[in-house]
Structure 1
Amino acid sequence: MILSTIFLGVIGPLQITLIVVVVLLIFGGKKIPELMRGLGSGIKEFKDASKEEDEPKKDKAE
C-alpha cells in the first residue's frame, strides 16, 4: 500500500509533459494517430475474441 502511494506521487504534470514530448520526438506527429488506430483495433479484436470464448460456456450451462 505504501509503494502505490509512492509511485502515484512520483508522476506529475511535468513528467507527463516530458513523456509526451519524447514520444512526439521519437514517432513524429503523423505516426501517432496510426499507432493509436492500431492499438484501438487490437483492443477491439481482443474484446471480440474474449466474448467468443465466453459464449460457448454459457451455452453449456443451459
Structure 2
Amino acid sequence: MSTSLLIMGIGGQELIVIVVILLLLFGGKKIPELMRGLGKGVKEFKDGQKEDSPTEKKTEVEDNK
C-alpha cells in the first residue's frame, strides 16, 4: 500500500468502494477519458509552475542586462 494513501487514512476496502462508485457513476468507457484529462491538467499545472519559478525569472533578468 502506498504511503500517501496510508497518510490520508484510505485503506484497501475504502479504495475498492471508491472504485466501485466511480464505475457506477461514469461507466467503464468514460473513466479512461476522465483520467486522461486529469493527467493533462496536472501536467499543464506543473509546466505552469516551472515557468513561473523564481530561478527562471532571475536568469531572464540577468540575460536582459
Aligned residue in 1 for 2:41: 42
RMSD, aligned α-carbons: 2.2
Q: Structure 1 length normalisation: TM-score? A: 0.70
Runs of 4+ with >3 A deviation:
57-62
Aligned residue in 2 for 1:22: 21
Q: Percent identity?
A: 57
Unaligned runs of 5+ in 1: 1-6
- What's the secondary structure of 2:45's corresponding residue? helix
Q: Structure 2 length normalisation: TM-score? A: 0.68
